[in-house]
Amino acid sequence: MLNVALNVWNFFFGGFAISLAWLMATFFSAILLVTLPYTRSCWEIFKLSLVPFGHDIVHVNQIAPQHSVVNGIGAVLNIVWFILFGWWLAIAHIIVGVMQCFTIIGIPTGIMHFKLVRISLFPVGQRVVEKEYANYLNQKKFFK
């Protein structure tokens, strides 16, 4: 119930605007052939920015370890993303996060936007999963 209330608060006080920015990034990444690999990540992050509570961000290596060549390609893709889209989406998340932290009720949603700055800057290799699955993956990593 708390997740629903925080998602509604986020939606009305900045989350909708951020989600529109992610939707624009998804649209432009689908149109431009160079940025087509980002479309899936943009769509996942669009959904996360719309309803951030109840979901978490994990690195793809936690789900299924990859070959190092794939990680190298992901690093190059992240650099291109940062130059084209990442910096302005990160600034938007910072602005919304600061604005939401002005009220006591908005502090949890503001903190969530600060967490979204990291994925805004470097989304390749990150996945949005349910909170329970992310906790399971973190426990599995801890007990290895």
Closest-CA residue to 130 (of 21, 38, 41, 52) = 52
Whether residue 14 contacts residue 50, with contact meaning beta carbons closer than 8 Å, is answered with no
pLDDT in tens, 116-136: 898 888 887 788 888 888 888
Whether residue 100 contacts residue 106, with contact meaning beta carbons closer than 8 Å, is answered with yes
* pTM exceeds 0.85: no
Locus of tokens 């794939």: 70
Q: What are the structure tokens assigned to 27, written together? A: 């649209």
pLDDT in tens, 45-95: 888 888 888 888 887 777 776 655 456 777 888 888 898 888 999 999 999
The whole-angstrom separation of Cα 27 and Cα 135 is 31
The whole-angstrom separation of Cα 128 and Cα 133 is 10
